[in-house]
Amino acid sequence: MQLLAGVLTRLFPPPPPSPSATLGALEFSLLYDQDNSSLHCTLIKAKGLKPMDSNGLADPYVKLHLLPGASKSNKLRTKTLRNTRNPVWNETLVYHGITDEDMQRKTLRISVCDEDKFGHNEFIGETRVALKKLKANQKKNFNICLERVIPTKRTGTTGASRGMALYEEEVDRGGDVEERGKILVSLMYSTQQGGLIVGIVRCVHLAAMDANGYSDPFVKL
């Protein structure tokens, strides 16, 4: 039987693990406290994280980022646990001032990273949760395999919409990119005028720069 099993294994080797499976899994829970306008994210543990250091281990921590939004108040992180691929944080991070409108339109990005003692932190994997999936005052538990890049569904677009979609695709490819907002521009080279015509169309989700949560933006070329 052992000989037969060996022959079958050579003839029909098991499929290689998917890229997401090799990054590890993350267990966490989310709770929207509607009465206190707060979102509680409890990072419980991760299992089988991708080894990032020369010793075959990692120094993992978790970053939270409410999307869209680029201000520091949208970003939270756990403590770092050293030399482990199976960290247990049991740490709760809280966003305050969360409204019902936020719960309908925002997405929570949860990234697991490896802290490097030389300051070059590395991205391991992430998952994203649309907050509209949560019910007020009801805790929801998750146990999800991390992914390198979260795929986003895109419909056929043309013109300006297509331009924004292409920009978003480039941001997705960038991994741990800090979101500062998006700008839509048009470019045209005019042979008659012998010049480059730049159209500034619009911006969305710009980082809040003033104390009131807004900005007074202008564009420089």
Supply 179's token pair.
């979101």
Question: Are 156 and 179 within 8 A, CB to CB?
Answer: no
CA dist 9 and 23 (Å) reads: 25
The CB-side HSE value for 48 (13 A sphere, CA atoms) comes to: 12
Q: What is the pLDDT, as a whole number, of residue 190? A: 87
Q: Is the peptide bond before 68 cis (omega within 30 degrees of 0)?
A: yes
Query: Which residues, listed in sequence order, are joined to residue 40 by a DSSP beta bridge?
Result: 31, 94
Q: For residue range 132-142, what is the model confidence (pLDDT) as tens digits?
A: 999 999 999 99
Q: Give the other-Cβ count within 10 Å of 168's Cβ.
A: 13
Supply 40's token pair.
């509680």
CA dist 65 and 180 (Å) reads: 12
Q: What is the pLDDT, as a whole number, of residue 80? A: 94
Q: For residue range 72-84, what is the model confidence (pLDDT) as tens digits?
A: 777 899 999 999 9
* Residue numbers in the chain where pLDDT is lower than 50: 4, 7-8, 16-20, 151-178
Q: For residue range 58-101, what is the model confidence (pLDDT) as tens digits?
A: 999 999 999 887 667 778 999 999 999 999 999 999 999 999 99
Q: What is the pLDDT, as a whole number, of residue 182? A: 80
Q: Give the other-Cβ count within 10 Å of 28's Cβ.
A: 25
Which amino acid is residue 134, in one-letter code? L
